[in-house]
Amino acid sequence: MKHRFPLPTLVFIAALCAVSLSTAQTTQTQPAPAANNGDGVTLARETRLRNVRQLTFGGENAEAYFSGDGKQLIFQSKRDGRGCDQIYTMRADGSDVRMASTGKGRTTCSYIFPKNPKRILYASTHLGSPDCPPNPDFSKGYVWAIYPSYDIFTADADGSNVRALTTTPGYDAEATISPDGKRIIFTSMRDGDLDLYTMDSTGRNVRRLTTELGYDGGAFFSADGKQIVYRSYHPRTPEQIARYRQKLDENLIEPTVFEVWVMNADGTNKRQVTRLGAASFAPYFFPDAKRIIFSSNVNDPIRRNFDLYAINIDGSNFERITYEETFDGFPMFTPDGRKLVFASNRNAKARGDTNIFIADWVE
């Protein structure tokens, strides 16, 4: 879940509760069940996607992101019988899968340095404990855990030479890197709220970019490094504010309503892009930075079906991309915009399996 919140994808799909559509930006109705082309992978209505190929097979695999040259992917997975996510790398054809994290704690939000594919970035709880931290209690509703033991690390792609970039108390995660490899953007609770910060690739010169009460996270730079896209929830009413603060005191957040925002790379000119009143997350710029692709449950009345959507950065030209009936999320383009990687429940061998897929993009 940058994309990237600490997101156990299967639970996210199964447990996300319904939210109001009173501010919905679209009047699209729920479509008829999607027909596929016979392979269980390629859906006939998905005209923007061609040659969809499955790269992982079984279990929970998500948040796959390309290297700067588009030849490698980094992702998180519970494969190999692990109790919580670890970070893996593979070639863009799905071969040569290797674990790149320590195998300890819980990890999330990994990225490959754009100018140095032999160096990676990820968040992990392993300094707090080598064990998997406990899952949150869902008995009172669906929540994400904001583990205070999360810190951000760099390492060599083979898992060696691990170095912590953050050491402040509280949650530090959801990190990605600018195209020139010089800046990292991440979400932190170091000032008491979930805000976006940038720092140098060495961990120095930390700068806060968001200050409004609420969650800001899952951020990515545009290809030219001039803009940032992210997801936000800003409580407005006294009741919303009190509930948000209560959950935050418990190191929790309720991910039922996120909107997509953009801003300049220095934190100025913040603009809200979507007004869907749904859980819209994992936004990523098209290579030309004029459009954004993201995942949302806006078209599902019971809020369990997430699909990919595209939208102009001014909020116009809202377009549905996928029609799979359970979950599609975490989209990212290759630098040339010709291929799209995403996570999906399609073609699952077992109920809830989330796998990584790659497709040619049709403009």
Pair 1, 108: CB distance under 8 Å: yes
Residue 306 has pLDDT above 60, yes or no: yes
Structure tokens, 248? 């935050």
pLDDT digits (tens, 9 = 90+) for 56-109: 998 899 999 999 999 999 999 999 889 999 999 999 999 999 999 999 999 999
What pLDDT sits at residue 141? 83
pLDDT digits (tens, 9 = 90+) for 314-352: 999 999 999 999 999 999 999 999 999 999 999 988 888
Q: What mean pLDDT do residues 248-259 have? A: 95
SS3 content of the chain, % helix, strand, coil (to 5): 5, 40, 55
What pLDDT sits at residue 351? 85
What pLDDT sits at residue 1? 42
Structure tokens, 311? 């939208």
Residue 4 has pLDDT above 70, yes or no: no
DSSP letters for 191-219: TSS-EEEEEETTS-S-EE---SSSEEEEE
Give me the chain's average pLDDT, please.
89
Give residue 3's pLDDT band: very low, low, confident or very high (50, 70, 90): very low
Say how far apart CA 18 and CA 32 lie, in whole Å. 20
Residue 339: count of CB within 10 angstroms of its CB = 20
What pLDDT sits at residue 7? 39
What pLDDT sits at residue 43? 87
Give the residue, 49 or 6, on which the prediction is more confident: 49
Q: What is the separation of C-alpha 58 from the centre of its chain, rounded to a whole number of angstroms?
A: 20
CA dihedral 33, 12, 193, 244 (to 10 degrees): 80
- 57, HSE (Cβ side, Cα atoms, 13 Å): 5
Residue 299 has pLDDT above 50, yes or no: yes
Within the chain, how many helices (H) and strands (E) appear? 2, 26
pLDDT digits (tens, 9 = 90+) for 261-275: 999 999 999 999 999
Domains and CATH numbers, the chain: 9-26+33-361 (2.120.10.30)
What pLDDT sits at residue 40? 61
pLDDT digits (tens, 9 = 90+) for 192-230: 999 999 999 999 999 999 999 999 999 999 999 999 999
